[in-house]
């Protein structure tokens, strides 16, 4: 099956002269339904929904704390998928699940693929499954419209980057920093060249994520690629109930602000 929904949603936004904006939220840290509907209304292109996990190796402190709160409230992959299924008809933008591989394995890969297809999920990011071990996910998701979105790190050697990008679906998640998620002041000088290179070789859109937390960074990083992913700043703003901050971040990806 050609995986199109996620690709098209991003492409549509880019064709309108805007940048794609994908906020990350932690499923079960506050009301998932309310957060999704708020972000949709604010103008998000798609939403990355994180599944809380006990050993989140790539998560920085903000996302880790959000995960702990969600786990305390009893959120699991199962409860989150159920909730997404329940709001499926209200959600008009694609959802992307970001989870470590363990919760998928305990759910059962095939059952998970079916549940995603029924719950408005059009993309999947699994940070702890390297390209070489991706076959099992590929098989399970083959007949679905769920894109397997790859992460490309700053330090991957060029031949590896080429392989990851060639296998990429939906969009390429270009990680902008070395290390874990979280707010950063600045970016490496090398980043611009790295992003240009990814844009050159990728047939799907390239989005930059990690360390982006201000409207200025949304604009400056967005200008180099097709869009941005913002996690910690969104998670923290929902936690602090600073909804205006979230609106400003989304608005920074829009044309009116870019001009
Ligand atoms: O929080 P940041 O620095 O804005 O980065 C996005 C990130 O949180 C989100 O995409 C994410 C959360 N956990 C992850 C684990 C791996 C890759 C990506 C993620």
For every one of its 259 residues, what pLDDT tens digit does the chain have, with 9 covering 90 and above? 788 999 999 999 999 999 999 999 999 999 999 999 999 999 999 999 999 999 998 899 999 999 999 999 999 999 999 999 999 999 999 999 999 999 999 999 999 999 999 999 999 999 999 888 899 999 999 999 999 999 999 989 999 999 999 999 999 999 998 888 887 888 888 899 999 999 999 999 999 999 999 999 999 999 999 999 999 999 999 999 999 999 999 999 997 554 4
Query: Any idea which residues carry the catalytic annotation?
Result: 48, 59
The pLDDT, as a whole number, for residue 98 is 98
Nearest CA to ligand 1 atom 15: 58
The pLDDT, as a whole number, for residue 256 is 58
Ligand 1 geometric centre to CA of 209 (Å) = 7
Domain positions in the chain: 5-254
Nearest CA to ligand 1 atom 9: 231
Ligand 1 geometric centre to CA of 231 (Å) = 5
Ligand 1 geometric centre to CA of 228 (Å) = 11
Ligand 1 geometric centre to CA of 123 (Å) = 15
The highest-level CATH class for domain 5-254 is alpha beta
Distance, C-alpha 86 to centroid of its chain: 21
Nearest CA to ligand 1 atom 4: 231
168 lines ligand 1 (CB under 6 A): no
Instruction: Give the dihedral sign, CA 29/119/8/132.
Output: positive
Q: What is the value of ipTM here, to two decimals?
A: 0.98
Which has the closest alpha carbon to 57: 156, 126, 7? 126
* Residue 69 and residue 29 in contact, taking contact as beta carbons nearer than 8 Å: yes
The pLDDT, as a whole number, for residue 182 is 84
Which has the closest alpha carbon to 5: 129, 126, 149? 149
pTM of the model: 0.96
Atom number, ligand 1, closest to the C-alpha of residue 184: 3
Which has the closest alpha carbon to 116: 98, 131, 135? 98
């Amino acid at each position: 099956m050609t995986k199109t929904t996620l690709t098209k949603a991003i492409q549509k936004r880019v064709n309108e002269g805007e940048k794609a904006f994908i906020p990350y939220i932690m499923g079960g840290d506050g009301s998932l339904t309310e957060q999704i509907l708020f972000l949709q209304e604010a103008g998000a292109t798609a939403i990355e929904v994180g599944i809380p996990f006990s050993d989140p190796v790539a998560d920085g402190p903000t996302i880790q704390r959000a995960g702990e709160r969600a786990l305390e409230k009893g959120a699991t992959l199962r409860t989150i998928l159920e909730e997404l299924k329940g709001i499926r008809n209200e959600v008009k933008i694609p959802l992307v699940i970001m989870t470590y591989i363990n919760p998928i394995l305990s759910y059962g890969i095939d059952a998970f693929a079916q549940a995603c297809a029924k719950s408005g999920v059009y993309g999947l990011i699994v940070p702890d499954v390297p390209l070489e071990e991706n076959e099992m996910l590929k098989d399970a998701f083959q007949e679905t419209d769920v894109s397997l979105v790859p992460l490309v790190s700053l330090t991957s050697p060029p031949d590896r980057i080429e392989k990851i990008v060639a296998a990429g679906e939906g969009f390429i998640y270009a990680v902008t920093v070395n290390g874990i998620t979280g707010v950063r002041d600045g970016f490496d000088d090398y980043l611009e060249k790295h992003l240009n290179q990814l844009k050159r070789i990728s047939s799907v859109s390239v989005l930059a994520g990690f360390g982006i937390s201000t409207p200025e960074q949304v604009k400056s990083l967005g200008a180099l690629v097709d869009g941005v992913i913002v996690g910690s700043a969104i998670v923290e703003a929902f936690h602090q109930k600073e909804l205006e901050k979230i609106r400003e971040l989304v608005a920074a990806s829009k044309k009116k602000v870019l001009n």
